[in-house]
């Protein structure tokens, strides 16, 4: 049997607001304005985060409309043929031309880097962006691919026996990031 214990709350509601505000500012700063930016959130929790960041960037840039897309990476996973169960394919919605844009991929947690690898491949099938950057709320280490976040909310060192759980108002009814410790016990 697996039991779990909440080890720590690393970002609370107010902390999440501050973190996202900083990420939005960094994205604008690095790209010298919001002129060419488009955000693409990776399903599931990257999507609401992308919408929030777009709103924040828009208010920093005098109400400029920031295009937001949602990406489902199921068709690009590297474990599709070997995993015993299959995740449901969901819609990808990129309602703008990504050609020559600065695309900022948005996800909640950066861990192995495999999701980001899949997302980059998926984005390139929609056209040739000027550049692709990565914004994540949490970087928990443990990379299995040479991938790095350009905009990182919080950097953590975690062990494989721990899980980082991001809860968002839009999906889970509350804003927080917690670390959960998992332990296997024989019953």
Partner 1 sequence: MSPHNKIDLEPPVLTHLLGLDGVPEPVITEILDTAENFLAVLERPIPKVPSLRGVTVANLFFENSTRTRISFELAEKRLSADTINFSTSGSSVAKGETLLDTVKNIEAMKVDVVVMRHWAAGSSKFLADRIDAKVVNAGDGTHEHPTQGLLDMLTIRRKLGALKGLKVLILGDIAHSRVARSNIFGLLNCGAEVKVCGPATLIPREAESLGVEVIPDLDEGLKWCNVVNVLRLQLERMSQGLIPSLRDYQRRYGLTRLRLEKAAKDIVVMHPGPMNRGVEIDSNVADGPWSVILSQVKHGVAVRMAALFLISGREKDEG
Cis peptide preceding 44, ω within 30 of 0: yes
Please report which helix (H) or strand (E) contains residue 26, including its range.
Answer: helix 13-30
DSSP string over 156-177: ----TTEEEEEE-HHHHSS-EE
Closest contact distance (angstroms) between CB of 120 and partner 1 is: 12
Nearer to partner 1, 60 or 71 (CB): 71
Closest contact distance (angstroms) between CB of 86 and partner 1 is: 4
Return the structure tokens found at 6: 């909440």
Quick one: which of 81, 53, 85 has its CA closest to 67?
53
Residues that bind partner 1 (CB under 8 A): 42-45, 72, 74-77, 80-81, 83-92, 107-112, 114-115, 121, 124-127, 140, 163-166, 180
Nearer to partner 1, 42 or 57 (CB): 42
Closest contact distance (angstroms) between CB of 135 and partner 1 is: 14
- Distance between CA 179 and CA 10 in Å, rounded? 7
Closest contact distance (angstroms) between CB of 25 and partner 1 is: 25
Closest contact distance (angstroms) between CB of 28 and partner 1 is: 26
Nearer to partner 1, 60 or 138 (CB): 138
Quick one: which of 45, 52, 41 has its CA closest to 167?
45
Nearer to partner 1, 29 or 80 (CB): 80
Contacts of residue 126, defined as CB under 8 A and 6 or more positions apart, other chains included, come to 94, 98
Nearer to partner 1, 29 or 144 (CB): 144
């Amino acid at each position: 049997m697996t039991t779990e214990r909440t080890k720590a709350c690393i970002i609370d509601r107010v902390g999440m607001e501050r973190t996202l505000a900083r990420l939005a500012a960094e994205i604008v700063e690095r790209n010298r304005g919001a002129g060419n930016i488009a955000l693409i959130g990776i399903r599931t929790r990257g999507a609401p985060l992308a919408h929030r960041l777009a709103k924040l960037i828009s208010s920093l840039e005098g109400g400029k409309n920031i295009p937001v897309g949602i990406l489902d990476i199921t068709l690009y996973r590297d474990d599709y043929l070997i995993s015993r169960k299959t995740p449901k394919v969901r819609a990808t919605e990129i309602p703008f031309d990504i050609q020559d844009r600065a695309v900022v991929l948005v996800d909640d947690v950066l861990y192995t880097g495999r999701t980001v690898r899949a997302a980059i491949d998926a984005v390139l099938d929609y056209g040739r962006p000027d550049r692709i950057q990565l914004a994540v709320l949490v970087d928990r280490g443990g990379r299995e691919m040479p991938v790095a976040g350009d905009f990182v909310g919080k950097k953590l060192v975690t062990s494989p026996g721990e899980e980082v759980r991001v809860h968002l108002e839009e999906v889970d009814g509350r804003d927080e990031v917690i670390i959960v410790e998992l332990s296997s016990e024989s019953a």
